[in-house]
Structure 1
């Protein structure tokens, strides 16, 4: 029987190695089952931990929600579908009709809400009366999240509270803003941690202090 892993993968413990934000505690069980063509028993145990380059507040909030969803039996490995987040958008102010991701539509809606009086300049109001000025930093991070992100704080992303890769619903109610670097890196590492887990397998989440 494969031994249950209770510590991070060896490469993450080496001196100077990059800290993983997600790994599978019982990865050996799923790797062995995949190799032997058998079906593993029990849930996949996903372990999360904060990285020094993450926004701690956003990571903690995300981790708490995933722990809660796992305890409620609502997490499972979902089928990978690159078009799952696509919706038809009728177009509007400055945008053409067509297929877009729901996260990008959400980003634009939030931006428009924050910049309703965007034509005002600093000479035409104060922070209290000019909504654009009041939300300038937030709006700049939303625009920053449209492109590549190299560090914490460079941008904001709409994040699925209940991860799509963990069978979350692609709805606007399941979206909220999150530090883009933290969101993308954590999502990427969760995907890598679950690569040997069959679709439909229940997932529970633990968080390291």
Structure 2
């Protein structure tokens, strides 16, 4: 029975074979540089058969008081309504949604204070620059955090101080990550 292995590196006509390893490596280089997309876990629902977990939240000195209080009040209200639970991670969030939200706010600032066609006043331009600089320090925050069962929708987004948003989100994740998916969560604010 004849062998299917090539007998030499040259096919008929004495033309050398392409070096497949290098070609494949070159083709894979751009793909390797792309960040790997996390595959979201299938969503779960609140499981009232599991014991309720009390999530204790305390304002850190680095948090701005007003934004922290607004965020915690919203979470407490959702907690009182029995809506909070541990969602499966990683949660399915669309970064384009928050980017589009921020862009709409940016466009609204320009429309109000720096309209096209040379109609902007110096005061309007100064106010637009001030608001845009402030927007740069804010995140599009999910009021009802998706890791606590909240939807990834525009009506669930509000602006929040970036540090407060990210640090609180990380603290919540650390506290609930080992809980079974669907665990009911109650918020308790520590003074």
Query: Offset of 1:72 from its aligned partner?
Result: 0.3
TM-score normalized by the length of structure 1: 0.62
Paired residues for 1:134-153 under 5 Å: 134-142=127-135, 144=136
Stretch of structure 1 that moved more, 40-49 or 102-111? 40-49
The answer for unaligned runs of 5 or more in structure 1 is: 1-39, 87-99, 145-154
In the TM superposition, residue 166 of structure 1 has moved relative to its aligned partner by 0.3
Q: Does 1:113 align with 2:108?
A: yes
C-alpha offsets along residues 108-149 of structure 1, whole Å, 9 cap, x if unaligned? 11111111236688x95143xx2x43243221132x3xxxxx
Q: Over the residues paired in the alignment, what is the CA RMSD in angstroms?
A: 2.2
Structure with the bigger percentage of helix: 2
Distance in 2 between residues matched to 1:136 and 1:72, nearest whole Å: 40
Q: Normalised by the size of structure 2, how large is the TM-score?
A: 0.67
* Structure 2 gap ranges (5+): 1-48
Matched, 1:56 2:56: no
1:190: Cα distance to partner?
0.5
In the alignment, structure 1 residue 46 sits paired with structure 2 residue 55: yes
Displacement of 1:188 in angstroms is 0.7
Structure number, greater radius of gyration: 2
Cα distance in 1, alignment partners of residues 51 and 103 from structure 2: 41
Q: Size of the alignment, in residue pairs?
A: 141
- Counterpart of 1:76 in 2: which secondary structure? coil
**SS across alignment from 1:54:** coil
2:121 aligned partner: 125
